[in-house]
Amino acid sequence: MKQYGFALHTTTPELGLAISNFADDSRSNVWKLDRNISNLMHQYLMEFIKPQTWADIAFVSVAKGPGGFTGTRIGLVAARTLGQQLNIPVFAISTLAAFAWENRSNDDTFIAVQMPAQRGMIFAAIYQITPDGNGLTAVMPDMIITPEAWREKLADWNENYQLVEANSGLAATVTSMLQLAYLDWQQGKRPDWTQALPFYGQHPVDG
C-alpha cells in the first residue's frame, strides 16, 4: 500500500529530506553537503527511506528553484527518475512557496517573499493563502526582478501582506514542501514526472 509522501530539497548547499504518511509517522532531516551533494545524495536517500521502501511512496515532492543551478538540477533529476521508475506523481514546488508556507502567519492573507539572486537582483513572488487555509495560490508568480521594481510592486500592493526574506534555512522547509504537495494530492492532482521542470530565473553563472 503506497501511503507515504517523500520530499527532497537540494537548491542550496544543504540537502533536506522528509517523509510522512500524514497520520502518525513523519520524519525529516537536513545535512550540509556543499559540493558533495551530487556524490552523496543517493547514499543519503537510501539510508533515510528506511524502514520504508520505495514501494511505500505514493508521490514525490521536489524543490524546483529558485536556487543554485547545480543543486536544483540534481534534485529534479532524482525526483523525475523516482517518478518515472515508480510510476508515481512528482510535485515540483517553488523554493519561495515552501518558504512562504513555512513562515505564514494567521494575520495576513498575502505573503510576499524575496530571496537574493546574482548580480544585485532578487527572486520574488507574492502568494495568497487559500480561503480554506489549505494551500497557496501564486498571485505574482516567481520572477527575477530589480530591488527597485520589487519595492514599487509592494508599494502598489493594496492588500495587507507579510514580507519574508528567504536567505537561510531553506532546506528545512522540505517539510512545508511536502505539506503543499500533500494538499495538492488530496485535491486529486497527479502531475506526471515530465512536468517537473526547474525555475532558474536567470542563466546560470555558477552553481
Complete domains list, the chain, with CATH? 4-95+169-195 (3.30.420.40), 96-165 (3.30.420.200)
Cell of 200: 532558474
Query: In 110-186, which ranges are E strands?
Result: 110-116, 122-129, 136-145, 161-165
pLDDT at res. 205: 46
Which residue, among 100, 106, 92, 108, has the nearest Cα to 124 in the 3D structure?
Answer: 100
Output the CA torsion sign for 71, 72, 77, 79. Answer: positive
pLDDT in tens, 74-124: 999 999 999 999 999 999 999 999 999 999 987 778 999 999 998 999 999
Query: Helix, strand or coil for residue 104?
Result: coil
Burial (CB count <10 Å: 0-12, 13-18, 19+), residue 191: middle
pTM: 0.93
Q: Using one digit for the tens of pLDDT, what is the confidence trace for 160-205?
A: 899 999 988 899 999 999 999 999 999 999 999 999 999 987 654 4
